[in-house]
């Protein structure tokens, strides 16, 4: 998120001596993106962030593809993903391509014994059920139902949950996650027509400096492998930092819908963008107010993209039956639209309380073995009269 932020103690000038009370130097680290040409932060550690004690054997977490090519409207019953204690083991990739991986997770326990770093992708973790704290060296972010946690690649973190009942919808993006360009002016400020603004962004707070030595296990993901590292110092030893590269959060409940006299197309719901895909938020809103308007969405042929909809809560007037955590995939190449009877039924309604996350990828998605296990095999027949 292109907003300057700082926490803790930093020196007056970058790349200058910054000493501890005992006279020794703090360790400066530049965390930069796209080489030295995009967002970055400067971090000051109690110890150098390079003290590796041991390195274990890497193991694969690469998604196992079950259906690479397909042209079938598909529904996945997401809450059929079984809860597991461990955060990483609970993450099940279900829809993937070369630009992003979409996963479901139902972790029961907080991350206590290790830390995690995704060094190949930005992560957007949508909190469907649960609450807790995202802990990083940059500070902590409290999260609740409806929050999007945006965690830039290279960020070491832990998830601390308040209860065992957690449901997460996770997007791994192999390009940076950012607010759409059309919402920002030339200086990066969110403009008046944007459906959210800087006041809605939750940034890290409560910096906790862990000046500790010992054995600290960090699981690092790179190219589909997890590399078990053990470092000699605590990864959250930041004495201070400043810059534009850090984790942040946005609540779907703070997304302000754009409405009109006639049905508005999905781009008005766009919340984030990555390379070759967008993420949108469908939130409670007033329906169209033209006297002859049809609130239900029209039939649509996806020519250039697939469409993924993750149902969070509320009543969806375009579908006969929807359950929380359900995912629908409408592949590019064939039309989709409201179920029979939904169009006529929607006429005259003034508003909707639906809540959903939509992803439009511009490269076809593949289904994994974990997706096939929770598939509703008859969904493609649901438009029959």
pLDDT digits (tens, 9 = 90+) for 161-193: 999 999 999 999 999 999 999 999 999 999 999
State yes or no: pLDDT of 343 exceeds 90. no
pLDDT at 172: 98
Taking only the tens place, the pLDDT of each residue in 16-39 is: 999 999 999 999 999 999 999 999
pLDDT score recorded for residue 327: 97
Please tell me the predicted confidence (pLDDT) of residue 318. 63
- Can you tell me the mean pLDDT for 232-257? 97
pLDDT at 58 over 80: yes
Closest by CA to 45, choosing from 214, 185, 241, is: 241
pLDDT value, residue 350: 84
Local confidence band at 250 (pLDDT 50, 70, 90 cut-offs): very high
Q: What is the pLDDT of residues 111-139, one digit of tens each?
A: 999 999 999 999 999 999 999 999 999 99
pLDDT for 308: 97
Question: pLDDT-derived band of residue 99, with 50, 70 and 90 as boundaries?
Answer: very high
Average pLDDT over the chain reads 95
Cβ–Cβ < 8 Å for 209, 9:
no
DSSP 84: B
Q: Could you report the per-residue pLDDT of 283-335, keeping only the tens digit for each?
A: 999 888 899 998 888 888 888 999 999 999 987 766 767 899 999 999 999 99
Instruction: List the one residue out of 161, 147, 96, 91 whose CA is nearest residue 368.
Output: 96
C-alpha to C-alpha distance for 19 and 26, rounded to whole angstroms: 6
User: Percentage of the chain with pLDDT > 70?
Assistant: 99
Contact status, residue 138 vs residue 6, Cβ threshold 8 Å: no
Task: List the alpha helices (DSSP H) in the chain.
Answer: 87-90, 342-346, 369-373
Which pTM does this prediction carry? 0.96
Q: Pick 340 or 270 by higher pLDDT.
A: 270
In this predicted structure, what is the pLDDT of residue 346? 85
Burial class (CB in 10 A: 0-12, 13-18, 19+), 303: exposed
Q: Note the helical H segments in 6-137.
A: 87-90
pLDDT computed for residue 1 by the predictor: 63
**What pLDDT sits at residue 263?**
86
Token reading at 202: 């939750």
């Amino acid at each position: 998120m292109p907003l300057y932020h700082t926490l803790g103690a930093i020196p007056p000038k970058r790349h200058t001596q910054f000493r501890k009370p005992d006279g020794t130097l703090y360790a400066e680290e530049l965390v930069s993106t796209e080489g030295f040409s995009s967002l970055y932060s400067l971090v000051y550690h109690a110890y150098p962030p390079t003290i590796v004690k041991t390195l274990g054997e890497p193991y694969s977490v690469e998604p196992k593809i079950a259906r690479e090519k397909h042209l079938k409207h598909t529904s996945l019953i997401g809450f059929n993903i079984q809860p597991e204690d461990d955060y990483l083991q609970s993450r099940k990739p279900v829809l993937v391509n070369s630009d992003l991986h979409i996963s479901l997770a139902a972790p029961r326990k907080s991350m206590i014994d290790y830390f995690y770093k995704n060094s190949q992708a930005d992560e957007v973790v949508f909190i469907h059920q649960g609450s807790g704290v995202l802990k990083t060296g940059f500070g902590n972010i409290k999260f609740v139902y409806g929050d999007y946690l945006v965690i830039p690649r290279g960020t070491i973190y832990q998830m601390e949950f308040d209860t065992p009942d957690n449901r997460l919808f996770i997007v791994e993006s192999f390009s940076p996650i950012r607010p759409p360009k059309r919402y920002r002016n030339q200086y990066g400020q969110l403009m008046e027509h944007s459906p959210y603004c800087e006041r809605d962004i939750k940034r890290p707070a409560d910096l906790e400096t862990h000046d500790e030595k010992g054995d600290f296990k960090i699981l690092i993901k790179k190219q589909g492998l997890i590399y078990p590292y053990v470092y000699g110092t605590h990864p959250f030893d930041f004495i201070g930092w400043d810059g534009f590269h850090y984790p942040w959060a946005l609540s779907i409940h703070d997304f302000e819908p754009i409405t009109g006299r006639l049905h508005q197309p999905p781009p008005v719901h766009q919340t984030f963008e990555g390379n070759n895909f967008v993420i949108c938020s469908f939130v409670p809103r007033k329906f169209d107010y033209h006297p002859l308007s049809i609130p239900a969405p029209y039939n649509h042929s996806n020519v250039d993209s697939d469409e993924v909809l993750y149902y969070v809560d509320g009543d969806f007037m375009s579908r006969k039956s929807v359950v929380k955590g359900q995912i629908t995939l409408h592949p590019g190449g064939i039309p989709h639209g409201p179920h029979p009877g939904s169009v006529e039924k929607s006429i005259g309604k003034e508003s909707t309380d639906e809540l959903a996350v939509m992803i439009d990828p511009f490269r076809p998605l593949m289904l994994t073995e974990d997706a096939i296990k929770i598939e509703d095999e008859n969904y493609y027949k649901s438009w029959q009269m």
